[in-house]
Amino acid sequence: MAHPIPEVDGILTAEQVAQTAASIAAMQEPSGAVPWTPGDKVDVWNHVEAAMAMLVGGEVEAAERAYEWVLQTQRPDGSWPMKIVEGTVEDASGETNMSAYLAVGVWHHWLVRRDRAFVDRYWPCVRAGLDWVVSLQLPSGGIAWSQEWVDGRPGRINTDALVAGSSSIHHALAAGCALAELVGDPQPEWEFAGARLAHALREHRDLFLDKSEFSMDWYYPVLGGAVRGAAADALFEEKWDVFVEDGLGIRCVRENPWVTGAETCELVMSLEANGDRERALRLFADMQHLRHENGSYWTGWVFPDQVNWPGEQTTYTAAAVILAADQLSRATPGSDIMRGETLVTFGDLGARCGCGSADSRFVAGIS
């Protein structure tokens, strides 16, 4: 089933988006794995993001091969190794937000292709991944960020929760619950976990590990769908002047004079999802200076030195550009994947928390 290739008027043509998708496919390994750059590491989060982008950009066969790799590399507990280099596991630890993200990819594939056989094939893989992730939810509502592996077996759990990682898991749980409804296999424990997580991300971000020097820690609660509306507007304003560099994009790290394409495009999608299309388009245009002549994208730009750093074009940056282009243009049904109108929305558990938040008072008033 063919679909239109996204184009963003005055910024990117459909031909340019297709070229960017081809640049990702050109770095795909024979196994189907998509590394950050040729010979570099593969992690399942960025790999799935690349598969989503290749699908949108017309590289359907490459996307299907990428998903097959995910199916073949999942471990019995539902997780994936954190770092694989050319087929060799270099870090066997399981990271929760990585292992959750297949749910987003499979729901995205369904939106774009309406291929029920694909969903049925991957549903057990999605279910195992999210079951493992939910098993690591903390009393605070956040999700422990990783579990070590020792001698081929799960080991110590790293019990810190990350705002960005947990926000991505919130997104994955919403996609997973949408898939559960589609296949007729309800997962009430995911819905409960999602509601707890949503409340923590809205009202108790102080209970997460402080990574506020990273821009991802700033906008991810919006990108992952837990924070929207006026609360998201307020969140954007808190650190807009800290991270946004006019005409260039956004910083990855507060202290470093370095703008990065992937983070900029994620902020673009966050803004658009919250109805701020004007700033989303402006930032999307700003980051196009990172485009390479072959359609790939440099990772970032150190602006005092006027140099691209590191000196490589990464698949995850190209993927973020394509998904942002799709969301801005609404070219494919998958353009909703970050906006979330097709995803499950979790109820709030503020009344159970007893924290006195606005959510808590609202829920208490209708219960």
pLDDT value at residue 352: 67
Report the alpha-carbon distance of residue 102 to residue 43 in Å, rounded: 12
In order, the DSSP letters of 270-315 are HHHHTT-HHHHHHHHHHGGGGB-TTS-BBSEEETTTTEESSSSB-H
| CB half-sphere exposure, 130, CA atoms < 13 A | 33
- Partners of 8 in the beta sheet? 12
CB-based burial label for 339 (10 Å; 0-12, 13-18, 19+): middle
Per DSSP, the three-state class of 150 is: strand
Give pLDDT tens digits along the chain (367 positions): 688 999 999 999 999 999 999 999 999 999 999 999 999 999 999 999 999 999 999 999 999 999 999 999 999 999 999 999 999 999 999 999 999 999 999 999 999 999 999 999 999 999 999 999 999 999 999 999 999 999 889 999 999 999 999 999 999 999 999 999 999 999 999 999 999 999 999 999 999 999 999 999 999 999 999 999 999 999 999 999 999 999 999 999 999 999 999 999 999 999 999 999 999 999 999 999 999 999 999 999 999 999 999 999 999 999 999 999 999 999 999 999 999 999 999 987 765 676 755 433 323 222 2
pLDDT value at residue 351: 52
